[in-house]
Amino acid sequence: MRNDGLSITHSHVGPVCVVTLDGRIDSTNADDLMVHLKGLIDAGEKNVLVDLGAVLYLTSAAFRVLLVATDEAERNAARLALCSVIGQVRELFEMGGLVDAFTILGSREEALAQLD
Amino acid sequence: MRSIELMVHNDATGSARVRETLDHFAAEHGIDGKPLIQLQVVLDEIISNISKYGWSDGGVHEFRVRITLADNVLAIEITDDGQPYDPRSAPPPPSPGPGGRRRPGGVGLHLVRQLVDGFDYKRVGRHNHVTLTKRCVADAGAATGNPDEERRT
């Protein structure tokens, strides 16, 4: 495990910018995620897909960032969607009452098919 | 009974140190993945809450975290000399606003309430004492318990 607990990478698949998160998202690194997502939106990305399939867990600091980034995307005529929200990560979304607060699109493949 | 105690600062290093300490403690005692992950979420919420709101003077403060394992119950006690605050009293997250838009806020302690088996608070003198407990299957002889491994199984 990396010291900061989270790896953030992104790549392009057609018109979609896929952000892959790997590790844990908590109060110690949520700001890094905000900077990364805001940077993509500011750079003009219109379809941002955040893949949570390799996330071990996330805390309210991460939910805050995802909510703020979703708003930020909308203000820039872009959209931010999530995919691979599974297992314990999905349970945390459910416990937080946050499943309906985001666009959640199944697996990465399913999400890309819908966004393409 | 096995326990470990550490003093942490009210900044991001505090949360990171507690996270690493709990990981090591759990691995050492063979605590299985899901309770550990849930406790990591709980600790991040509680520690970051104390760090952000415990003191209003903007200064550096220290507080104590003690992790104890006894009879398959992991207990975490946090003691700070910040302003009095009972985290159990936090209101539930607000309902979505007009247009169904969900606002950030209130989610952390709402998660904590659901993730622990016990959530106690008392104010003693000038200190807040928060105790969180969670049942977990511990096996002192096991080498598992690292959530990174758990994730891949």
**Cα B25 off chain centre by:** 14
Q: Is the pLDDT of residue B46 over 50?
A: yes
pLDDT at A90: 97
Residue B36's closest CA among B26, B24, B49, B48? B26
According to DSSP, residue B91 is labeled P
B66 CB-contact burial (10 Å; exposed 0-12 / middle 13-18 / buried 19+) = middle
pLDDT at res. B98:
63
**To which CATH superfamily is domain B2-151 assigned?**
Histidine kinase-like ATPase, C-terminal domain (3.30.565.10)
Q: Which helix (H) or strand (E) holds A92?
A: helix A87-95
Question: How far apart are the C-alpha atoms of A79 and A57, rounded to whole Å?
Answer: 24
Q: What is the mean pLDDT of chain B?
A: 87
Contact between A26 and B40 using a beta-carbon 8 Å cutoff: yes
Partner A contacted by B143 (CB < 8 A):
no
Cβ contacts of B47 on chain A, cutoff 8 Å: 27
The per-residue pLDDT for range A24-78, each reduced to its tens digit, is 999 999 999 999 999 999 999 999 999 999 999 999 999 999 999 999 999 999 9
Contacts for A11 with CB less than 8 Å, ≥ 6 apart? A17, A18, A20
d(Cα B72, Cα A104) in Å, to the nearest integer?
A: 37
Convert the pLDDT of each residue in B61-101 to its tens digit.
Answer: 999 999 999 999 999 999 999 999 999 998 888 777 666 66
ipTM over 0.95: no
Kindly state the tokens that stand for A33. Answer: 């995620």
Inter-chain residue contact B151 with A56, CB threshold 8 Å: yes
Q: Tell me, what amino acid is at B124?
A: V
Q: Do B19 and A26 touch (CB under 8 A)?
A: yes
Half-sphere exposure of B141 (CA within 13 A, CB side): 0
pLDDT score at B145: 45
Q: Which domains does chain A have, with CATH numbers?
A: 6-10+20-115 (3.30.750.24)
pLDDT in tens, A40-52: 999 999 999 999 9
